[in-house]
Amino acid sequence: MAIFKQKFIGNVIAIFFFATSSSQSQNSTVIKIGTDDSAPIISKHIYGHFAEHLGRSVYDGFYVGEDSSIPNTNGIRNDIIDALKGLKVPNLRWPGGCFADEYHWKDGVGPKQERPVIINTHWGQVEEDNSFGTHEFLKLCELLDAEPYLAGNVGSGTVEELNDWVEYCNYDGNTDMANWRKSNGQEEPWRVKYWGIGNESWGCGGNMTPEHFANLYRQYATYARNYPGSNIKRIASGADSDNYDWTEVMMRDVPHWMMWGLSLHYYTRTGWPPTGNATKFDESDYFLIMKHCLKTSEILDRHIAIMDKYDPKKRVALVVDEWGSWYAVEEGTNPGFAYQQNSMRDAMIAGISLNMFNERADRIKMANLAQAVNVLQAVILTDSEKMLLTPTYHVMKMYAAHQDSKLLPVSFESPEYTFNGESLPAISASASKDKNGLVHISLVNIDSQKENVVEIDCGELGVKGFSGTIVASKKLQDHNTFDNPGKIATKVFKDFKFKKGKLSVTIPPFSVVMIEGE
């Protein structure tokens, strides 16, 4: 069933033999929004986040310690908790990433002064004192009211170690593991549902072949047990971007009942190591990054086609548990810390990526932006006691309206955003209806120069009135700074007209708009 048609989403659609920027004239695009009883629910877990022991994500990010002068709860910053509550964070993935495959969870429980100090070999070779471990992370999830998603170590950990971790977290009884948890202050099991098994096992997680990993996965997944009242959802380490062979082998060699989800990582970046600065870029850099981001559509569709071949009933979820932009680090920061600023360009990436995930909600059941605080496409940046919310934060806040809502099929032909003779689809859209009958339409116009007018046929929706919000700014490079943290924020949007069942919206250049209809 084709539930959603968006022409031109994907690769470059046309090459023109002239070099020019877009003109100022308006386009008018007709968007048809239908209703389809068989359309899927957009899982709230598509709006998940990720916190790795990487750079200043955990230490000097989420976690400042109980003795910090920064207001905190059990060492976790209160301002970060409050801000993330605004996003309705559904789940948080931890402790990595690459770090997960060298993390031995037993190092991070018990009295802090007795916890060993290890080297974080992946990320800057800094010392890790394990002061933020399982109890601290699960407290963070409790404060956020988010589901924890723990990533288990397959690269350098044992089957027994993973089984012990599941038992420690989830078993309500009188075993050594359960009693150890209790003696460390947690009487009731946490009943953690989401368990990753390995991370990037084709690379930092062990440099394995897919055949080798598929077998290992079967073994580790077997011993990651369900305990009474705590059935778990196992998520297998999946492919990187266009490594379709990985998905093929995993789907072929692992029975569907062993794998709730298969992961996929796709970063919007140009090359490895990542190049370009997060805020110092020109339009050609912007265009290239948009092209890479729109490539997500093809990547998703090809992995999904393989999954459909082996699992036409869609029992195995695609879990995009790392996505987002990746640029060169900010000048003067540790090259191993992946700290980058976040501009209007990242707001575009967030808006179009989330629309692409919504569109495929029948297969994609979870996704995690990399990462929440101070790393890559962060929603929050901190500098000592200061904190700022990035443009990506504001987009995710608007899009929270789609969580657990029913997808409404959208079809249209996008106008083009043309630069230097190449074209990309300018408009991306997604729509849903929530439990209270509110309709939400998220619209992105990536054109750097031109506003685009969309005419939305709302005939079938039975909606009578609309309101809107927008994330926009004067320049593509605009971003929030610690001196001016409010430069980019969500604003009320009124540039639309509703007449005879047709909603006409004028979307400014490089902006993200959310329309709510009731």
Residues engaged in binding ligand AHR (CB under 6 A): 52, 96-98, 199-200, 322, 370-371, 376
User: In the bound complex, what is the minimum distance in angstroms from residue 205's beta carbon to ligand AHR?
Assistant: 8
User: In the bound complex, what is the minimum distance in angstroms from residue 375's beta carbon to ligand AHR?
Assistant: 7
Q: Which one, 98 or 443, has the nearer CB to ligand AHR?
A: 98
Q: Per the structure block, which two tokens stand in for 27?
A: 């386009």
User: In the bound complex, what is the minimum distance in angstroms from residue 506's beta carbon to ligand AHR?
Assistant: 37
Q: Are 146 and 91 in contact (CB under 8 A)?
A: yes
User: In the bound complex, what is the minimum distance in angstroms from residue 267's beta carbon to ligand AHR?
Assistant: 7
CB environment 288-312: b (16+ within 10 A), e (fewer): bbbbbbbbbbebbeebbebbeebbe
Q: Which one, 52 or 447, has the nearer CB to ligand AHR?
A: 52
Q: Which one, 199 or 414, has the nearer CB to ligand AHR?
A: 199
Q: Measuring CA to CA, how many Å separate 386 from each of 207, 261, 481, 506?
A: 39, 38, 10, 36
Q: Are 262 and 307 in contact (CB under 8 A)?
A: yes
Q: Are 398 and 350 in contact (CB under 8 A)?
A: no
Q: Which one, 18 or 272, has the nearer CB to ligand AHR?
A: 272
Q: Which one, 55 or 425, has the nearer CB to ligand AHR?
A: 55
Please tell me what DSSP assigns to residue 222.
Answer: H
Cβ atoms within 10 A of the Cβ of 77, count?
25
Q: Are 214 and 249 in contact (CB under 8 A)?
A: yes
Q: Which one, 90 or 97, has the nearer CB to ligand AHR?
A: 97
User: In the bound complex, what is the minimum distance in angstroms from residue 270's beta carbon to ligand AHR?
Assistant: 16
Q: Which one, 371 or 511, has the nearer CB to ligand AHR?
A: 371
Q: Is 322 a catalytic residue?
A: yes
Whole-angstrom distance, CA of residue 146 vs CA of residue 19: 48
**Which of the residues 136, 161, 322, 422 is marked catalytic?**
322
User: In the bound complex, what is the minimum distance in angstroms from residue 473's beta carbon to ligand AHR?
Assistant: 26
User: In the bound complex, what is the minimum distance in angstroms from residue 181's beta carbon to ligand AHR?
Assistant: 27
Whole-angstrom distance, CA of residue 391 vs CA of residue 343: 6
The string of DSSP letters for 270-300 reads STTTT-S-SSS--HHHHHHHHHHHHHHHHHH
Sequence-separated (6 or more) residues with CB below 8 Å from residue 203: 98, 240
Q: Per the structure block, which two tokens stand in for 334?
A: 């540790």
The string of DSSP letters for 420-448 reads TTEEEE-EEEEEEE-TTS-EEEEEEE--S
Residue nearest to ligand AHR (CB): 97
Whole-angstrom distance, CA of residue 496 vs CA of residue 515: 9
Q: Is 211 a catalytic residue?
A: no
Largest CA distance in the chain: 74
Q: Which one, 97 or 517, has the nearer CB to ligand AHR?
A: 97
**Which of the residues 147, 167, 200, 422 is marked catalytic?**
200
The string of DSSP letters for 140-208 reads HHHHHT-EEEEEE--SSS-HHHHHHHHHHHH--SSSHHHHHHHHTT--S-----EEEE-SSTTTTTT--
Q: Per the structure block, which two tokens stand in for 52?
A: 């790795």
Partners of 315 in the β-ladder: none
Q: Which one, 102 or 362, has the nearer CB to ligand AHR?
A: 102
User: In the bound complex, what is the minimum distance in angstroms from residue 326's beta carbon to ligand AHR?
Assistant: 8
User: In the bound complex, what is the minimum distance in angstroms from residue 218's beta carbon to ligand AHR?
Assistant: 22
Amino acid at 135: H
Ranges of beta strands (E only) in 405-501 are 406-408, 410-413, 416-419, 422-425, 427-433, 439-445, 452-457, 466-471, 491-492, 496-499
Whole-angstrom distance, CA of residue 95 vs CA of residue 57: 10
| Residue 25 burial class via C-beta count within 10 angstroms: exposed 0-12, middle 13-18, buried 19 and up | exposed
- Which active-site residues does the annotation give? 200, 322
